[in-house]
Amino acid sequence: MSTVSLSLQEIFDLAKKTLLANGCDEETVNILSDLIMKAERDGSLSHGLFRLPAYVTGLKSGKINGKGRPEVKKISPSVIKVSGNNCLAPVVLNKSIPELIKAAKENGVAVLAINNSHHMAAMWHETEMIAEQGLVAFACTSYKPAVAPAGAIKPLFGTNPISFAWPRPGQTPVVFDMATASMAMGEVQVAKREGHKVPIGTGLNKQGKETTDPGEIADGGVLLPFGGYKGSGIAMMVELLAGALVGDNFSYETAAKDNNDGGPPSGGEFILAISPDKLSGDDWNKHSDKFFDKMKSMDGVRLPGERRHKNRLDKGPRNINEELVNKIKSLS
């Protein structure tokens, strides 16, 4: 695989130039380019520049509103509802997360229900943002069907990622962000592009047989949930939280309404923020740090998010797939 070396600023500039050329306004461009750069910086390759061609596809088809603004409404002191107006999720989150943080600090707990937004970015971004303000955070969103429920060979669930973040004042939060599928579809697509095999149990081919070929999974096959019936249950939970509970679509309904242009579909997101200061009192941080110290004292254990945060310390250039860079340059 041929790569080119790009500085973090060059990554930001490449994303910005591409998005400006495809109908986004300056505010949208800066928010999304910053997130793409941060994904590459942190090593989240399946959610960085790799996503840019799909964003452009959705912008060109008119499905995504590159100049829109979300509408944020406070339903009650601890319930915030947002209409995304077909904006990309990072734009919606940029406007609504501060309101969620304020409500959670005032009331102890607050929820954010997002509708009509296009989410294709990493979810650690929103939960980490909340945890950096001293709050516990949970978020989830659904997608178009790509995952078979346990026992089935046809897709019903989206990859349905969940993210959880625990605040650590004075330190980086503990954050995990994971698909409820055995592997995120973006990671399967990256493996296909780079010619890698995927582990057995990742997914099935068109004939419903297990395969290690990511191309057979991505092109007409189906992903499996992680952990069999356990992961299937969690994927179902995400469908309900990010669909019915927030007043948006289930994954199969999203698929029926999508124009299938390859860009991210419209959907919902559920985000919960909790104040440990109000629920636990003054000692929650010391108490949880003892737990984390106990975990890290065990051989081979690292805290979720540590790899990303270590990558973040490296301010040097990143090696980016040359074919991807050339494809992105052709879009502007």
Q: Is 330 a catalytic residue?
A: no
Q: Per-residue pLDDT tens for 317-329?
A: 999 999 999 999 9
Query: What pLDDT, in 10s, does the model give residues 41-66?
Result: 999 988 999 999 999 999 999 999 99
Which one is catalytic: 40, 44, 47, 119? 47
- Measured in whole angstroms, the distance separating CA 213 from the mean position of its chain's CA atoms is 24
Q: What is the pLDDT of residues 165-188, one digit of tens each?
A: 999 999 999 999 999 999 988 889
Catalytic (active site) residue 2? no
Q: How many CB atoms lie within 10 A of CB 293?
A: 9
* 106 is an active site residue: no
Question: CATH: 3.40.50.970, 3.30.1370.60, 3.30.70.60, 1.25.40.10. Which one for 3-181+225-281+306-330?
Answer: 3.30.1370.60
pTM of the model: 0.93
Is pLDDT above 80 for 14?
A: yes
What 28-31 contacts at long range (C-beta under 8 Å, 24+ apart), as own/partner pairs, is 28/66, 28/67, 28/87, 28/88, 28/91, 31/90, 31/91, 31/94
Domain ranges of the chain: 3-181+225-281+306-330
Instruction: Find the catalytic residue in 40, 187, 216, 239.
Output: 187
Tokens at 234, concatenated: 């969690």
Gap between the Cα atoms of 255 and 257, Å rounded: 5
Q: Is the pLDDT of residue 150 over 80?
A: yes
Q: Mind listing the pLDDT tens digit for each residue in 200-255?
A: 999 999 999 999 999 999 999 999 999 999 999 999 999 999 999 999 999 999 99
Q: Is the pLDDT of residue 1 over 80?
A: no
